[in-house]
């Protein structure tokens, strides 16, 4: 019997200030781990269960940030 693998659920804030749940299955999270707070590009499939939309993540990547010119 295969050991149970856990899925991870994260909540992201969109550009329009809407919170959105994402579901990360073990293989997706192993290949594309989340690395702390930041802006992420997420690719996946939007699913609707119990009138609640979420994204089943296929892959994601942390996006680079421009440096704050005030700190230079």
- What is the per-residue pLDDT across 22-32, written as a single tens digit (0 to 9) for each? 888 888 888 88
Give domain limits for the chain. Answer: 8-63
CB contact at 8 A, 12 and 40: yes
C-alpha to C-alpha distance for 64 and 71, rounded to whole angstroms: 17
Report whether pLDDT(1) > 50. Answer: no
Report whether pLDDT(42) > 70. Answer: yes
What pTM value is reported for the model?
Answer: 0.61
3-state helix, strand, coil in the chain (%, to 5): 10, 45, 40
């Amino acid at each position: 019997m295969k050991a149970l693998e856990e899925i991870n659920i994260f909540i992201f804030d969109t550009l329009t200030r809407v919170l959105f749940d994402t579901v990360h299955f073990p293989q997706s999270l192993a290949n594309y781990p989340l690395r702390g707070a930041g802006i992420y590009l997420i690719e996946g499939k939007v699913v609707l269960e119990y009138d609640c939309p979420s994204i089943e993540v296929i892959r994601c990547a942390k996006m680079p940030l421009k440096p704050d010119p005030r700190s230079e």
